Amino acid sequence: MATLSTPTQQAGILSFYDAPERGPLLNPKIVLIAVFAFGVIVLLLDHFLI
């Protein structure tokens, strides 16, 4: 089956959007815990330093 090729694909304009989707694999629970802990630390520092 032949694929359609548009001029923008031939010019390489869409190659930016075809970048590999590999990234750090983080567990969502760890991210939520880290955000919550950071918020608590900021609130504690704000309360005790001011």
Number of domains in the chain: 1
The reply to whether 4 falls in a domain is no
Q: Write the DSSP symbol of residue 9.
A: H
pTM of this prediction?
0.52
Query: What integer pLDDT is reported at residue 20 of this predicted model?
Result: 65
State yes or no: pLDDT of 12 exceeds 70: no
The reply to whether 29 falls in a domain is yes
d(CA 47, CA 49): 6
Query: What integer pLDDT is reported at residue 32 of this predicted model?
Result: 97
The reply to whether 36 falls in a domain is yes
Query: What integer pLDDT is reported at residue 49 of this predicted model?
Result: 85
Which two tokens mark 44? Answer: 């504690």
Domain that holds residue 34: 25-50
